[in-house]
Amino acid sequence: MQLQDILYTQGFGTRRVCAGLVQQGHVQVYQGSSLVQVDDAAMDLQAQGLRFRVQGTDWPYADKAYILLNKPAGTECSQKPSTYPSIYTLLPSPLRLRPQKAAVQGVQAVGRLDQDTTGMLLLTDDGQFIHRMSSPKHHVPKVYEVTVKHPLTDKQVSQLLSGVVLDDDPKPVRAAACEAVSALHLRLTLTEGKYHQVKRMVAAVSNRVEGLHRSQMGGLGLGDLAPGQWRWLSPDDLALLRA
């Protein structure tokens, strides 16, 4: 694949813009551990496994992008936020501009977190992955650390495990796991994603959510990723999510 085409698929602009980046000396390619300056935008390269540097930043070639973001509070999971800054402003422009066949460019959030909810958020341009992670049919467990207003009781934990009825659905909704970590800290595991589900479930047992943080999806946690930071997901990470 020509270098300008590789850069285009990775979101660095139109093919003309990508050719200009190469011709202006802004692109280097890794050969082993060494960086090689290139000035031929039409150079043929093996895309898979390729690493390159554009304007001083290293990038791996990725046929599909899989990103883990630690969402900070006060951000919206929307390309067109209404009140708070968009989570997409936390990502570099190539991830936001990766070309897609659909009208929307770049990586998209796998589900959404409320503006005041923090923690684990996946982003990708792989539609099948989004469906697998989001669909209740696949029962992907999501773990939430919940700060509540009133001290937890054994009865509340039992109710969340046995099922509570939400106002728009007569079928009880159950937590896959539920643990009172402390008097005001609830660890809740869900396998579906209804609108404001955690807040509504906690309200259904006569308590109130004061803070909400998603700490894990599938077998993958946030690790030491700081709020507002992102990283690429490795094949091992993806295996943990799909397990």
- Does the domain at 141-217 match CATH 3.90.1150.10? Answer given as no
58 has catalytic annotation: no
Helical residues (DSSP H) of 60-153, grouped into ranges: 93-97, 127-134
pLDDT at site 200: 95
Other Cβ atoms less than 10 A from the Cβ of 136: the count is 11
Distance CA 4, CA 132 (A): 32
Q: 56: Cβ–Cβ under 8 A, 6 or more apart, which residues?
A: none
Distance CA 146, CA 188 (A): 7
Q: Where in the chain is the domain with CATH 3.10.290.10?
A: 3-60
CA torsion through residues 200, 202, 207, 208, sign? negative
pLDDT values of the chain reduced to their tens digit, one per residue, 243 residues? 999 999 999 999 999 999 999 999 999 999 999 999 999 999 999 999 999 999 999 999 999 999 999 999 999 999 898 999 999 999 999 999 999 877 778 999 999 999 999 999 999 999 999 999 988 788 899 999 999 999 999 999 999 999 999 887 788 999 999 999 999 999 999 998 888 999 999 999 999 999 999 999 999 999 999 999 999 999 999 999 987
Confidence (pTM): 0.93
**For 205, phi and psi rounded to 5 degrees?**
-105, 25
Is residue 175 within 8 A of residue 160, CB to CB? The reply is yes
Is residue 117 within 8 A of residue 87, CB to CB? The reply is no
The architecture CATH gives domain 3-60: Roll (3.10)
Amino acid at 31: Q
Q: Which CATH number fits domain 66-136+219-242: 3.30.70.580, 3.30.465.10, 1.10.3720.10, 3.30.1490.190?
A: 3.30.70.580
Catalytic option among 5, 114, 116, 126: 114
Q: Where in the chain is the domain with CATH 3.30.70.1560?
A: 141-217
**For 140, phi and psi rounded to 5 degrees?**
-75, 120
CA torsion through residues 84, 90, 93, 98, sign? negative
Distance CA 7, CA 11 (A): 7
Is residue 71 within 8 A of residue 123, CB to CB? The reply is no
